[in-house]
Structure 1
Amino acid sequence: MASLPQAISTAPPALAVHNIQVVYGGAIEAVRDVSLEVRSGQIVALLGSNGAGKSTVLKAVSGVLDTEDGEIEKGSVHLFGEAVERAPAPAIVAQGMVQVPEGRRLFATLTVEENLVVGAHLQGAGRLAETRDYVYTLFPRLADRRKQIAGYLSGGEQQMVAIGRALMSRPKVLALDEPSLGLAPLVVTEIFNTIRKLRESSGLTILLVEQNANRALAIADYAYIMENGRVVLDGTSEQLRRNQDVREFYLGLSSQPGRTSMKDVKHYKRRKRWLS
């Protein structure tokens, strides 16, 4: 007996960005015509060098551009089908998306547990305790340090607190800004294993902004590469891993000996096929 055809999902993406332009101070264009999609249950990476515009995109979709005199001048952002490009950050959090900012930005004088509680301001007492226990299960080290002042923790432990604080609001979409920044390799491995575990265990949707392309592509389903405020390439992680330019300029894997001199690195933009 023939099987019935699979129904095609018509649900909107968890997050959809369409041709946004972001301007700072009414004059400085930081992002132009950027579009991307994050489907429910996916890990999508936004890659690029420092200054490419990745964090600006994350701030735009999280509603926090106004803190730096930034504004979405054109385009749209939809969260589960609802337009949020003009929504304030608290409304976006209430709708299900939470950002873990670059640099952690903890309340340094509060304890680990107090920082976590701050992230649960939308939750009742019962759900707060349940979610806190879940965070401690993800990060056992934080359970041991729950009464310690957050400012005295190591960089890796502070990153765990920052992720845990975001999870306390029970988000549907987690936006991570440079989670590996300034961390030792072993700690980075632990953080990225946890990000993968979050998706596998709870189906959490994740938008990951990251400079470490190797780490990001190892856990992402799909990725976009930004340069000079624009998306220049996108594809599945496997497709990007096979791309010769991505391998050379982002993964440090050159198929041609002798192309890793400082002169080659200095003039690398001239050889990129996506910029030709």
Structure 2
Amino acid sequence: MPAAIPTQATIGGAKGAPDPSCLLEFRNIRIVYDNAIEAIRDVSIAVPEGGIVALLGSNGAGKSTLLKAMSGILYTEEGVIENGTIRFRGEDVHHLAPDELVRRGIVQVPEGRRVFPALTIDENLQMGGYTRTAAEARDRREKVFSLFPRLFERRDQIAGYMSGGEQQMLAIGRALMTDPVLLALDEPSLGLAPLIIDRIYEVIAKLRDEMKMTVLLVEQNAQRALDIADYGYILETGRVVLDGSAKKLAANEDVQEFYLGVSNAGRKSLRDVKHYKRRKRWLS
């Protein structure tokens, strides 16, 4: 079982000492784009070792921005951390370059998969293992193929001709080639068929349960994320408005209404929900 997860109220004590139970912490983070647009405001999130933590929220809530900050790639979109810190294994890492973060074990699978389309599946995996020795890369490759047998069957196929689901498998497999300590997945179910989503989520659960890997899962599909997560945070307009165990969030009436599409009156469309009502409940 993962370590206990600090809540928003307990992250970052009076002296700002790191919590020893956390592998990764965002501590009072504020992120601004183009010196004008505040994307993240005073967010604190804790990710314990060996657990799955879900970041939930609608488009534009700030989920992907947090992952970009964690991966050191905010600069590509003129983003800056103006306040707060990101700590990994008790050390400040928000100032490190992306390649150094990967070497330390922080690896992200970005939204949209972004495989190398002109390379084969095998060549894509080789690119993912560039930080490892040849022997380590061979071992990781075998593990990837055991998780995704379809990649083994089509290992000589050009990645650009694969289906969306196969490309998502490859993107995750390429990330696993680095032997990550923490794997961040940005919208892994986006645009995929239900059967493929089932397989992807089976693998995510296996990464935690069998490989003891820590997973930070960013999703709009709240139901799927809460089904396998240990803990969750809900973001709205750059702020954490609700957090708790996955079971607690799934049972919360507001979460059921606004994110799972269920209310006492039955299933409803999110379009039927007034935005001001959500803000009044959580941000007032």
TM tier relative to shorter chain? over 0.9
Decide whether aligned partners of structure 1 residues 175 and 147 sit closer, same or farther in structure 2, where only a CA change above 3 A counts.
Answer: same
Aligned amino acid, residue 20 of structure 2:
A
1:33 — aligned with what? 42
Residue 26 of structure 1 deviates from its aligned partner by 1.7
Match of 2:264 among 223, 244, 255: 255
Match of 1:199 among 203, 208, 222: 208
Instruction: Answer yes or no: is the 8 Å Cα contact 2:33–2:79 preserved in 1.
Output: yes
How far, CA to CA, are the matches of 2:270 and 2:255 in structure 1? 18
How far, CA to CA, are the matches of 1:131 and 1:263 in structure 2? 44
Residue 71 of structure 1 deviates from its aligned partner by 1.2
Instruction: Answer yes or no: is the 8 Å Cα contact 1:23–1:30 preserved in 2.
Output: yes
Aligned amino acid, residue 87 of structure 1:
L
Aligned amino acid, residue 270 of structure 1:
K
How far, CA to CA, are the matches of 1:102 and 1:71 in structure 2? 20
Match of 2:137 among 128, 133, 143: 128
How far, CA to CA, are the matches of 1:231 and 1:243 in structure 2? 16
Aligned amino acid, residue 225 of structure 2:
A
Corresponding pairs, count: 265
How far, CA to CA, are the matches of 2:27 and 2:276 in structure 1? 26
Instruction: Answer yes or no: is the 8 Å Cα contact 1:12–1:80 preserved in 2.
Output: no
1:275 — aligned with what? 283
Residue 46 of structure 1 deviates from its aligned partner by 0.1
Aligned amino acid, residue 167 of structure 1:
L
The alignment yields a C-alpha RMSD, in angstroms, of 1.5
Match of 1:54 among 63, 77, 92: 63
Residue 68 of structure 1 deviates from its aligned partner by 1.2
Match of 2:33 among 19, 24, 30: 24
How far, CA to CA, are the matches of 2:194 and 2:131 in structure 1? 34
Aligned amino acid, residue 48 of structure 2:
R
How far, CA to CA, are the matches of 2:101 and 2:28 in structure 1? 20
Instruction: Answer yes or no: is the 8 Å Cα contact 1:269–1:275 preserved in 2.
Output: no
TM-score, length-scaled by structure 2:
0.90
2:32 is paired with a residue of what secondary structure? strand
1:14 is paired with a residue of what secondary structure? strand
Counterparts of 1:62-81 in structure 2, within 5 Å, are: 62-81=71-90
How far, CA to CA, are the matches of 1:274 and 1:41 in structure 2? 30
Residue 256 of structure 1 deviates from its aligned partner by 3.1
Q: Which runs of 5+ in 1 are unaligned?
A: 1-9
Match of 1:138 among 127, 142, 147: 147
Residue 223 of structure 1 deviates from its aligned partner by 0.2
Write out per-residue CA displacement over residues 104-139 of structure 1, whole angstroms, 9 at most, x where no aligned residue.
Answer: 111110000111111111100111111101000000
Instruction: Answer yes or no: is the 8 Å Cα contact 1:45–1:217 preserved in 2.
Output: yes
2:85 is paired with a residue of what secondary structure? strand
How far, CA to CA, are the matches of 1:188 and 1:194 in structure 2? 10
Give % identity: 58
Residue 269 of structure 1 deviates from its aligned partner by 3.4
